[in-house]
Chains A and B, each alone.
Chain A
Amino acid sequence: MIGSDLVMYDEEFKLIDAELQRLLSQSNAKVVFLVDKNGQLIAATGETENLDTTSLASLTAGNIAATGGMAKLLGEKEFSILFHEGQRDNIHISIIGQRVILVVIFDQRSSLGLVRLRVKKSAEILGTIFNQLLQKVETGKGPSKGADSPFAEITDEDIDKLFG
């Protein structure tokens, strides 16, 4: 009811995942992930085992939101690329199509130039996939509509059970 919900289907998820993996290998990055602007992790690939991707997703969105606020104060629309340089690891953050955030974590095996180049290409492809997804949601082609929605049948007991 608030805004439009973000919905992800199997078909697009696979396409997104494949594109993230391609970006990971072509940019020699350690980790690549996608976050929506509200801080929810959409997909991640690479060396994620010891990484708290949920927290990273939330902080990434906070970071984008804060710099977006700064941009507004300066009369800019947004800062579409952020880069944080560390001793060992670096983070490249970019906004794709207003709605999602692409994050690439890389070390000395890669370089900012290479990451920028590959991100640019992937951003186009990911943008197209998200447009396809949005269209699907808007035209009601996805499985969420109609009687087969898994949520239509939710009861109070289902919710009580969540809390054990």
Chain B
Amino acid sequence: MSFINYSSREINCKIVYYGPGLCGKTTNLHYIYKKTNPDSKGKMISLATETERTLFFDFLPLALGEIRGFKTRFHLYTVPGQVFYDASRKLILKGVDGLVFVADSQVERMEANVESVENLRINLAEQGYNLDAVPYVVQYNKRDLPNAVPVAEMKRALNPRGVPDFEAIASEGNGVFDTLKAIAKQVIMELKKGQEGG
């Protein structure tokens, strides 16, 4: 649910990074934070445990410049991945405009990936959203690891709808901005559609 302010000429959109615990969601945001120039980013907020596991969410506000005279801001959020934080995940999905699913390419995490997509689908449906109809991209992260599952196999298991998908090594930044750009594009195009339709 974007926020369009005709008075201050601003558009605000909310993007959520979803995925199983330790797949690299927070790492994506850290990299974006590190590579964005100081005037276009706010503080990155991490509500984390002492061992740096995400407890509630990470938050990174990004100001990306103007579209048609409107300042465009993206608010990036991550969710905590661990199964028992489901209540928190649901809260963060409220009002989401676009979703990035970060998958962990390691073979032993495939089951966790599949479960997490299912969990995403259910939590979205609870709020009346359909995963097959929202702006959505998939990232296959940790491609550097020797036990990475072939991409074709990951696509089959995690991206049957064939949304834009990207290989990534988030810890080195590979694929991070491609992913962000792709979801930003979909969200803005959706905004355009919404305006036309209404």
Interface residues of A (CB under 8 A from B): 1-10, 12-14, 36-40, 42, 52, 54-55, 58-59, 62, 65-66, 68-69, 140, 142-145, 149-154, 156, 158-164
Report the separation of the CA atoms of residues A9 and B190 in the bound assembly, to the nearest whole angstrom: 21
- A55-B95 contact, Cβ under 8 Å, with A7-B4, A159-B67, A162-B67: no
List A contacts of B194 (CB < 8 A): 1, 5
- A2-B1 contact, Cβ under 8 Å, with A52-B42, A150-B68, A163-B64: yes
- Picked from B6, B43, B87, B188, the residue with its CB within 8 Å of the CB of A159 is B188
Interface of B is mostly: mixed
- Picked from B6, B70, B95, the residue with its CB within 8 Å of the CB of A7 is B6
Report the separation of the CA atoms of residues A65 and B45 in the bound assembly, to the nearest whole angstrom: 17
Report the separation of the CA atoms of residues A68 and B72 in the bound assembly, to the nearest whole angstrom: 29
Q: Say whether B61 contacts A55, CB under 8 Å.
A: yes
Report the separation of the CA atoms of residues A14 and B7 in the bound assembly, to the nearest whole angstrom: 8
Is the C-beta of B59 less than 8 angstroms from some C-beta in chain A?
A: yes
- Closest A residue, CB atoms, query B96: A2
Is the C-beta of B125 less than 8 angstroms from some C-beta in chain A?
A: no
Count A/B pairs, Cβ under 8 Å: 148
- A149-B196 contact, Cβ under 8 Å, with A2-B97, A36-B3: yes
Q: Say whether B47 contacts A158, CB under 8 Å.
A: no
How many B residues are at the interface, by size bracket?
35 or more
Q: Say whether B65 contacts A164, CB under 8 Å.
A: yes
Interface residues of B (CB under 8 A from A): 1-8, 12, 14, 42-43, 45, 47, 56-57, 59, 61, 64-65, 67-70, 72, 75, 87-88, 90-92, 94-97, 128-129, 133-134, 177, 181, 184-185, 188-196, 198
Question: Can you name 17 extra interface pairs (CB under 8 A) apart from A36-B95, A65-B92?
Answer: A1-B133, A1-B190, A2-B129, A3-B128, A8-B5, A12-B7, A13-B5, A38-B1, A59-B45, A69-B88, A143-B6, A151-B68, A153-B68, A154-B188, A154-B192, A159-B184, A159-B188
Q: Say whether B6 contacts A144, CB under 8 Å.
A: yes
- Closest B residue, CB atoms, query A145: B198
